[in-house]
């Protein structure tokens, strides 16, 4: 493993994202599920359906919060380090095989023109 990826740095970055995502998931889903449950109960929706949609709301909020705070943790300055996303350099192309070289030779291409 690269010496820049120490356990303390990984934990610091993970914790910066995780506690925010967990807190946002708890608060966001609590509010949305409470509102949904209130209005669904007024309309006479069964308890089972409310619970099923509550789980869907919770999962959606958790996924959104995880993505959002993952992006936040990538932009965050951690004091002694920060993340940087860079594009990989293009891979070197392999030299052509003998068959590809023969197909591209001037002799084979001029023969097709006659």
Instruction: Give the model confidence (pLDDT) of 51-93 as tens digits.
Output: 999 999 999 999 999 999 888 888 888 787 777 778 888 876 7
Distance CA 41, CA 26 (A): 22
Provide the pLDDT for residue 88: 81
Distance CA 15, CA 79 (A): 15
Residue 97: band (very low, low, confident or very high) from pLDDT cuts 50, 70, 90: low
Rounded to the nearest 5°, which phi and psi values hold at 111? -65, -30
Would you say residue 100 has pLDDT above 80?
no
Q: For residue 79, is it left (φ>0), alpha (ψ between -120 and 50) or beta?
A: left
Take residue 107 and report the two structure tokens written for it: 């002799």
- pTM for the whole structure: 0.64
């Amino acid at each position: 493993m690269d010496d820049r990826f120490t356990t303390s740095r990984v934990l610091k970055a993970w914790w910066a994202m995780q506690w925010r995502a967990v807190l946002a998931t708890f608060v966001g889903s609590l509010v949305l599920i409470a509102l949904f449950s209130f209005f669904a109960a007024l309309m006479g929706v069964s308890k089972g359906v409310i619970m099923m949609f509550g789980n869907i709301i919770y999962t959606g909020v958790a996924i959104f919060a995880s993505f959002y705070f993952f992006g936040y943790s990538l932009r965050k300055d951690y004091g002694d380090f920060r993340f940087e996303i860079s594009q990989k350099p293009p891979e070197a192309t392999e030299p052509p095989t003998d068959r590809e070289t023969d197909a591209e030779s001037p002799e084979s291409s001029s023969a097709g023109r006659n």
